[in-house]
Amino acid sequence: MRFLIIALCLCTFLFSCQQAGEHKGSLKAAKAYQEELSAFWKNDSSTPLHAEEKAEFKGITFFPLSEAYVVTATFSPIADGKVLPMPTSARKTKYFKEYGTLHFTLKDTPVTLTVYQSDPPHEEDRDGLFLPFTDQTSGKTSYGAGRYIDLSTKDIRQFQVTIDFNQAYNPYCAYSTYYNCPIPPANNRMPVAVSAGVSYQNAH
């Protein structure tokens, strides 16, 4: 596995499994992901935290792992997707291109999310896809500004892709004031509670 950082502002933790096609969506993979994410933040050599923030950092907490939050979505490509401005936590703007829509059912509720590519694409991860979202736990039991999931164009097979919400994570801005993180757009507000992935933890 490897860590990738969103260019320019380093505001997200991007993580991809080399065996994504074989293990994507398994609870074993999700557990390993969460353990490495937690270690990434705690390790002095890798943490994005600044020196004065480390003493106050309380670590990362997670919802219980659950297969109920591993879904198979139908992927619909967006031809000539628009490049859209996405406001950030620092009141700046980042640009992302619409790549496609993901259609699935969670808790008997139909959900449609838009998945994006950074514009321009990151040279070190040109296949990377960005899925920002909020849900009914946002601001209650998960970070209020929303969470992210990393996908890849290689995850899409026969117009289907597995989304494992156990691997949902917070932007850097949840733990540090030094970063500039995209805010999930209104069209990616989920009408259901996603009690999976990183849960709410006031880091300061």
**What's the pLDDT at 121?**
72
Cβ-contact 198, 60 below 8 angstroms = yes
Please give the model's pTM, rounded to 2 decimal places. Answer: 0.85
Low-confidence residues in the chain, pLDDT < 70: 1-25, 122-123, 201-204
**What's the pLDDT at 29?**
95
Joined tokens for residue 21: 């096609």
Cα–Cα distance measured from residue 144 to residue 107, given in angstroms and rounded to the nearest whole number: 21
**What's the pLDDT at 100?**
98
